[in-house]
Structure 1
Amino acid sequence: MKSLISRLGGVAFAMLPLTACASTQPPVPRASSVDVARYAGDWYVIASIPTRFEKEAVNAVESYRLAADGTIETRFRYRKNEATGELKTMHAKGFAHADTRNAVWGMQFVWPVKAQYVIAWLDPAYRQVIVARDKRDYVWIMSRTPTMSDADYEALVARVAAMGYDTAKLRKVPQQWPEASTR
């Protein structure tokens, strides 16, 4: 039990920087409106300015499911270091802010801390997304598929740069799925 409390305390301590959103820059843009039911499902992480938990991620997938109570059940799973590496999974609960037309969420990994999660850009077909933060410390480029064209990727990187991020910090997340694998 003591070990569990120590680990949770460590996670809570590690998440503290995620909660502060003070910035001298204007807020990152927000999608005009997000249909959470349509947004739900799997999103492959194509690139990110990663948190410390994601620095060695391979085959990273973020999954969302709208819960009966209106929250968004979130599961982030990835393999560590390589496609056959240890499977890691993190769970969180998202709280969409209705006054932002669901473009801004509080993402809770450890109670009571809620990290800012901004759907900064979402294509109209809900196939690609940029999730950002006003602090510009982390960003995620995600897709409904494990790959995207170079042209699409470069366009999304340009959007991230226009938001005020240092794109030199972006890490492309290896997506190395065997043909017959289950995701």
Structure 2
Amino acid sequence: MKNPTKILLGVTALAGGLAFMAFRPQNEPLETVAYVDLQKYMGTWYEIAAFPQRFQKGCHCTKAEYKMHPEGYVEVKNSCRKNSATGKLDTATGKATIKDKKTNAKLKVQFFWPFKGDYWIIDLAEDYSYAVVGAPNREYLWILSRQKQMDQALYQKIVARIQAKGFDVSRLVLSDQSCN
């Protein structure tokens, strides 16, 4: 016969864990922008700030270049300088498929088969001068700009909107864009 105290402790721990999961604060579903004109979105974007990711460790002067592929997907070429602004150029090429054709704001990006990641455009300037890309789990976030630098007041407004969407903005790290 099993020890009743151990069973009671196990059941109590399980019930407590389930209660914690049931009552912890949940983020609202992540909203994207209403519509993305993919032709306007194509081109070069510079990373202004991001949540650190292991696949970007040591990156400086990070940028992304987007191009429509004739087969209907977006060709993605990410690049950065490793370990310094004058370090070796590192590139990765992938493809993004549109998952919400009504808005074009939800994409899946794949750099290595079979792994795909969410790429949701959650903020976008009317003139396509900046964009914010995140994931519904709020573990990925990038602030992008057509220019290597962003006005500080604009940056703070974007950060406030990101925070209102449930992202932990304390995780944001400014990106080094000091390359020529």
Match in the other structure for 1:129 = 131
Q: Aligned pair count?
A: 156
- Matching of residue 78 in structure 1 with residue 80 in structure 2: yes
Between the aligned partners of 1:100 and 1:50, the Cα distance in structure 2 is: 31
Max Rg structure: 2
With normalisation by structure 1, the TM-score equals 0.81
Between the aligned partners of 1:109 and 1:24, the Cα distance in structure 2 is: 30
Gaps of 5+ in 1: 1-22, 179-183
Once the two structures are superposed, the pairs formed by residues 38-77 of structure 1 within 5 Å of their partners are 38-77=40-79
Match in the other structure for 2:142 = 140
Matched residue SS, 1:25? coil
Match in the other structure for 1:27 = 29
**Which stretch shifts more, 100-109 or 70-79?**
100-109
Match in the other structure for 1:14 = none
Match in the other structure for 2:89 = 87
**Which stretch shifts more, 108-117 or 147-156?**
108-117
Same amino acid, percent of matched pairs: 35
1:31-82 superposed Cα distances (whole Å, 9 cap, x missing partner): 1111111100000000000221223211100110000011000011001121
1:11-45 superposed Cα distances (whole Å, 9 cap, x missing partner): xxxxxxxxxxxx94222220111111110000000
Q: CA deviation at 1:86?
A: 1.5
**Which stretch shifts more, 95-104 or 84-93?**
95-104
Between the aligned partners of 1:100 and 1:168, the Cα distance in structure 2 is: 33
Match in the other structure for 2:106 = 104
Q: CA deviation at 1:100?
A: 4.2
Between the aligned partners of 2:79 and 2:29, the Cα distance in structure 1 is: 28
Kept in 2: contact 1:29–1:121 (CA 8 A): no
Q: CA deviation at 1:111?
A: 2.1
Q: Alpha carbons of 1:57 and 1:162: their partners in 2 closer, same or farther (altered >3 Å)?
A: same
| RMSD of aligned Cα (Å) | 1.4
With normalisation by structure 2, the TM-score equals 0.82
Between the aligned partners of 2:48 and 2:140, the Cα distance in structure 1 is: 14
Paired residue type of 2:78: F
